[in-house]
Structure 1
Amino acid sequence: MISGATRGSGRGDALPAHLLKSENEVTVIPARGLGSTTLHDQVRELVAQSAGGRTDRPIYHVFCSPDPGIADDAAVRERFWTLFESEFGMAGQPYCGVEHRKGGRLHEHRVYGVVRPSGAVVDLAWDYVRREKCGRIVEFEHGMEAVPSKHARSIARRLRQDGRPDVANWLVASGCTESVRPVARLTPCERATEERTDVALDDLRRATLSAWRETSDGPAFMAALRVRGLDLRRGRVGPVIMDATGTAHLATRVLGAASRRFEGERILAAVVRARLGNLQLEEMTDGRRGHRAAPGDAGTPAPCDPGGPRTAGAGRVGFRRFGGDPFGPDGGGIGRDGRGPGPAMGRLRAITPARGLVLRRGLNRLDPMLTRYGAATARARHATDRIDADAARDQRRAWALWGLTDIWGIPLR
């Protein structure tokens, strides 16, 4: 029994589109707790029902794929879903889904809403191990062999706590609890990278490990990589190996995975960093986090942008400031034409009397405006004082006539 799950927001049509891919023989299964008829609308309805929950990932996508050796496939899947919903307390949760037939094998996908009517969110902690426990129970009940799992010991312990010692004993007898924990060849992210670049990561690992074993220092290791069509660059968190497509792979991770897979003993990251730590590496220019702009490089400025061709210091972006350096966009306070304040004062003294009269009239107009604003402020202040004085007089009059009053002036006695 194989199962898997992902959790997400459910917004958009990516998940329904994935489930309805034409490469599979697709059958939409009856939904539970939903009124919509199409899969796209059902997923949207699940998201809408979760509006009152305190989560931004209200969708839980689960699939199960029974072993082909089991004759009654439908009964096996139904048994798995019963165990799954009991384990996670999702017996009443709405869901929708599809059945896929691919390569002669039938498997089922369900999309559950994890927000309860009360607004509480279903507890999905340790969901991988809990789903594997359901799968082991199904295998036991249908006479199948136990699927090896790195969580076998934890599953056996939990089965005994749940009152299923028969399944726990079967799991122990199969040897799964004592066997070496299996390690996946690729992580989901690495698998996606391999599909995108068409570069087999095992080939990359073999070449990198071979270059590592036949050298003893950093420069020789880098030269050996280049002979194999690879390169060593400086990445964000450490040295990275660049493949032929320009994709970056963290060197410590590649060497660790290669040594564990092909030699049985992992090369520690500290050992890799010790050998490569003193290398002066070039910054990677492509691949993951590639094409990053250099600090301070703003690209080609527009004609009217600060630092553009119209201003001093063309090609750079800076801030206008008093007394800036000569390379700043403000020309160091000497004007765009490179002249200081002296020539400007000379030009003011040299203007004609008629031009000077116009300039003085324009400057003198500021004074009446300031006086007008000041007079308006004084009138507003006097009006406020009059209102306060009237309120105080009314309060004194109320005390004199009526005694103590409330805030509306009504006598309290």
Structure 2
Amino acid sequence: MVGASRGLIETGTKDQIKELTHIGRYASHSKPLHHVHADPAKDWTPDQWADFWKSYENEFSLQKQSFTEVVHVKHGREHKHRVYSLLLPSGSCIRMDNDFIRREKLNRLAEIRTGEPILSGRHNDAVIKALEAEGKTAQAQILRDAGLEGTRTRGKLKPQERAQQERTHIDKAGLAVIVLKGWKGYNPDVLKEQLKAHGCHLAMGDKGPVVIDQTGNVHALNRLVNMASKAEGKPLKITAKQAVDYVRGYDLPFYADIQKKGKINERTLPELGTVQENFFIPADLPGSLWSEQEHTEHSRPDEQPDRRQTLTHRPDTAVTRNHRTATGSNPVSTKP
């Protein structure tokens, strides 16, 4: 749904994004747009939303900047995306120094205000120090009491990978484990069969072999091997060239041909059989508030840990986060 906006002539979301992009052409900076995503664990009141956006704009001096907003409803509650223009009348752009730390600080404050469980981030100590410097000693103490001081949480996935996983319900960690097992067999035929058993297939990408998951999204083979081996504590650091050598002599379909057609079908991948059409979604805008976070012991017992920097809880992604699968379940798919 179309949300709030400011300083724009157009009305629809797509047209407003185009307008912001056009405005950004006059900037002296290569990234004149800023994307922010807020996803609370429960429905916020209009006043709570207003407080969050006011604190965000005050922190980054965005009070007079043009923006567009879109509202999503997922799992029965709202979350919002905003894209701000950073362009100033002088042609320069608003500086976003240390924005990850500052955004974590804003999220901790929002959790305190709304009674959300306190999440652990990657910059906990810096957040506590910043709060004390601003005179917010009570809030800093709340974070200490929640066990955040001296801790640091890092995620297993990059923000774009996590966003893709949220869209497709494909557990990249589980997929990586399957690929590593097949890789260790030094037999691409074995790997192909193992992937096929989980609805995934091998293809040749621009730089090397890739794995196409059940939804048609693509993952570099060597990166999956590296991801799973690192989780085992024995990183292999396989290069794209080594992955090419691994499948040399095997007739793999080209992913570029599949993508050009916009779908996977029997003509492009005969071994797939008939499958549904897959639409290729462009990468998310950079700068969203996805980060490496988890719940503290103060989380409600019926909720699973979530490492997103924004305020949310997603029990259906627990398999991804914990690298575990239920007996007899598909270790690739996290969809219920």
Short-chain TM bin: 0.5 to 0.7
How many Å separate the matches in 2 of 1:244 and 1:40?
29
Q: Spell out the pairing of 1:168-247 with structure 2 (5 A cutoff).
A: 168-179=140-151, 181-184=153-156, 187-189=159-161, 192=164, 201-211=172-182, 215=185, 218=186, 221-222=187-188, 224-229=190-195
Seen in structure 2, the aligned counterparts of structure 1 residues 206 and 54 have a Cα distance that, compared at 3 Å, is: same
Where 1:228 maps in the other structure, the secondary structure is helix
- Is residue 112 of structure 1 aligned with residue 84 of structure 2? yes
CA contact (8 A) 2:71 2:81 kept: yes
Q: Spell out the pairing of 1:359-374 with structure 2 (5 A cutoff).
A: none
How many Å separate the matches in 2 of 1:130 and 1:283?
50
Give aligned pairs, total. Answer: 255
Q: Spell out the pairing of 1:261-272 with structure 2 (5 A cutoff).
A: 264-270=231-237
1:281 is matched with 248
How many Å separate the matches in 2 of 1:276 and 1:47?
38
How many Å separate the matches in 2 of 1:223 and 1:36?
54
> Cα distance, 1:48 vs. partner?
5.0
How many Å separate the matches in 1 of 2:69 and 2:140?
32
Letter in 2 for 1:225: L
> Cα distance, 1:65 vs. partner?
2.5
Aligned with residue 127 of structure 1, among 96, 99, 112 = 99
- Is residue 95 of structure 1 aligned with residue 64 of structure 2? no
Seen in structure 2, the aligned counterparts of structure 1 residues 43 and 247 have a Cα distance that, compared at 3 Å, is: closer
- Is residue 167 of structure 1 aligned with residue 139 of structure 2? yes
Aligned with residue 45 of structure 2, among 62, 73, 85 = 73
Aligned with residue 254 of structure 1, among 224, 236, 243 = 224
Question: Which of the pair has more CA radius of gyration?
Answer: 1
Tell me which moved more, 132-141 or 53-62: 53-62
Where 1:176 maps in the other structure, the secondary structure is coil
CA contact (8 A) 1:241 1:250 kept: yes
Where 2:96 maps in the other structure, the secondary structure is coil
CA contact (8 A) 2:109 2:139 kept: yes
Structure 1's unaligned 5+ residue stretches are: 1-25, 292-413
Report the TM-score when normalising by structure 1.
0.49
How many Å separate the matches in 2 of 1:150 and 1:289?
37
How many Å separate the matches in 2 of 1:96 and 1:32?
7
CA contact (8 A) 1:252 1:268 kept: no
Seen in structure 2, the aligned counterparts of structure 1 residues 271 and 88 have a Cα distance that, compared at 3 Å, is: same
> Cα distance, 1:135 vs. partner?
0.9
Where 1:267 maps in the other structure, the secondary structure is coil
How many Å separate the matches in 1 of 2:204 and 2:12?
50
CA contact (8 A) 2:176 2:228 kept: yes
CA contact (8 A) 2:8 2:16 kept: yes
Aligned with residue 34 of structure 2, among 60, 66, 89 = 60
Where 1:123 maps in the other structure, the secondary structure is coil
How many Å separate the matches in 2 of 1:277 and 1:101?
42
Where 2:35 maps in the other structure, the secondary structure is strand
> Cα distance, 1:121 vs. partner?
0.4
Structure 2's unaligned 5+ residue stretches are: 259-336
How many Å separate the matches in 1 of 2:13 and 2:189?
55
Where 2:80 maps in the other structure, the secondary structure is strand
Larger relative contact order (C-alpha < 8 A, sep ≥ 6)? 2
Letter in 2 for 1:55: H
Seen in structure 2, the aligned counterparts of structure 1 residues 276 and 59 have a Cα distance that, compared at 3 Å, is: closer
Seen in structure 2, the aligned counterparts of structure 1 residues 172 and 93 have a Cα distance that, compared at 3 Å, is: same
> Cα distance, 1:63 vs. partner?
3.0
How many Å separate the matches in 2 of 1:37 and 1:179?
44
How many Å separate the matches in 1 of 2:9 and 2:214?
51
How many Å separate the matches in 2 of 1:47 and 1:243?
33
How many Å separate the matches in 2 of 1:28 and 1:247?
29
Higher helix share: 1
> Cα distance, 1:84 vs. partner?
1.0
Where 2:29 maps in the other structure, the secondary structure is coil
